[in-house]
Structures are given as C-alpha cells and as structure tokens.
Amino acid sequence: MKKTILSGSTVTGDLTLGNYIGALNNWKNLQQDYDCLYFLADLHALTVMQDPKVLKERTYSFLAQYLALGLDEKKNIIFVQSQVPEHTQLAWILTCLTPMGYLNRMTQFKEKSEKHVKNINAGLYTYPTLMAADILLYQADLVPVGEDQRQHLELCRDIVGFFNNRYGEGTFTLPEAYVGKMGARVMSLQDPDKKMSKSDENEKNFVSIIDDPKKIEKKIKGAATDSGTEIKYDVENKAGLSNLMTIYSVLSGKTYAEIETAFAGKMYGHLKVELADLVVSTLKPVQDKYHDLMKNRDHLDSVMKMGAERARVRATSTLKAVYEKTGLVL
C-alpha cells in the first residue's frame, strides 16, 4: 500500500519559475512512489477579498498550469476544493471541537490581520480548521508544508487528538509533514534572502511560468546582484548572482564551475541576457500547452469533474465514519 500525499495550493498569484524547477522531477517521482492528491484551494482564497470573475478564471488557469507542468490527471487525483462539499461539512465539525485558545495562537492569522485590516473575517480565523478538514478527509499520511503552514499542520494533529478523546480512535490518520529531497532552491529576484513565492506582492521578485518573454527578460535583467564583477558562485557574498547561477545551472545542466568558466572575464549583464533567453526557451513548451488548455474549457471542465468524483469517493467514506461517530444522521 502506497502512502497518501495531499497537497493544496491557494488559487492566488501564478505558479513561478521556482515551482517549475521544483515540480517536474518531484511530481514524476511522487506519483510513482505515493498515492497523490492535488487540490486547488478556492475556498481558502475567500479569506481575502476576491473579484468573483477573477477567482473563477484563476481556478481554470491554475488547473491548466498544473497540467502544463506535467501533472498527470490520470495518475493523480486533481480537483477543485469547492467541488467537494465534504470539505466544508467536516470543517464545521472540526471547528466545533477546536478550542479558541488554539486558534488564537496561529501566527498567520495575526500576520494576515495586520496585512488586511479592513477584512479581518471569521473565515481567516477558522482557516486552520478547514485546512485540517482538507487533510483528514483523505486520510493523508504526508503533507508537504512550508514553514508558514507547519503550525497549521500541528493544529491538525491536535484536532485528531480532540476528536479521539471525545469519540474514540480509528477515524483519522495522523498526518505528518512531508520533507522531500532538497533540490535547487530558487530565491526572490530582488530579495535573494527569501524564497521565490507566487504570493509575493512585488511582481519583480518572481518569474511566473506564464509571463510573456519580454516580461521575463525585464525581470531577470533587473534582478538584484552585488557590486562586484566576477561571475562566481558564492551564496554568502554574492547571494543574488548565486541565485541566477542556480537557475542557469538547473535549466542548462551545467555545473557552477562550468558556468564560471563560460563567463570568465564577462559582466553580470552577459549572464542575465543568456539566462533570460534560457528561461524563455525552457518555458515556451509549457506556455504553449497552457494556452492550448485555456482555449479548451470543455477539457478543463472534464478534468475538474473527474477529479471531484474521484475525490468524493474518499471524502464521503471519511465523512460517513465521522457522522456515525458524532451522532449525526446520514
């Protein structure tokens, strides 16, 4: 029996070059070794004010980006969160089990409340219980989480304990954080001390996989570097340059030493020009597939429908067990 991995992505922003570099090999390996579910978290997106038309379009866009990056809808279960109503049904039950004191500790709520002072809503506060429902519905063994979500996963594990104490054990799998093999880490173009992120408000910090060639070229040429001139991989003293060399190395297959030799005596600008061309040519087949998919909404609708149906088979089974334990009538 393969272990189950569940991964969700909020449908805000666009997938980045960092996602591209991390995704292809990871997804290919994961689908061989694990039972994988990927969902588009449109319900989570509602904790921040959204334009309905933009949210709907972005959901289709994210699905097309996933497929264009090589995620196989037949080997994995790919679905939209809101199309599986069991998520919100279980979330309410879990919310009723979760002490407010635990939710008060969530640092992300505090951070987002400061960021969105005009929209501090109850959904933002109870977001972690919906995330727990996302995970527990599918009996996920492993959940890939960044540092910003690790606290929420710990709360999810606590919630399993609350449920077990009240209703008995055996209903949920206790999830653990998934830590994959450390691959190339792509950093922000303007702030190389932090990871490139699709949720970054400064567009200059990341390359989106669906950015047009001119925008990609402009972003890479404008990437932060140090005041030196020697092209040498040195994360401590040349963080910005080293980040560009990392991207170049991954996409070209060349080692850092080979890149240093190729650009010996040349300026940073030469590296940026060649890197921009390399990124554009690398992303072209992904972008071509993406644009073809976005023109074929019937196909995207069918992928969504198939994914939701497959996800609901599992979600319904878990929710049925929860209803029986809690005394709710099926």
Catalytic center residues: 112, 195, 198
Report the C-alpha gap between 57 and 155 in whole angstroms: 32
CB-count burial class (<10 Å; 0-12, 13-18, 19+) for 166: exposed
Give the dihedral of Cα atoms 217, 213, 21, 256; nearest 10 deg. -40
Strand, helix or coil for residue 264: coil
CB-count burial class (<10 Å; 0-12, 13-18, 19+) for 33: exposed
For Cα atoms 59, 199, 91, give the angle at the middle one, nearest 5 degrees: 60
Tokens of 299: 């196909």
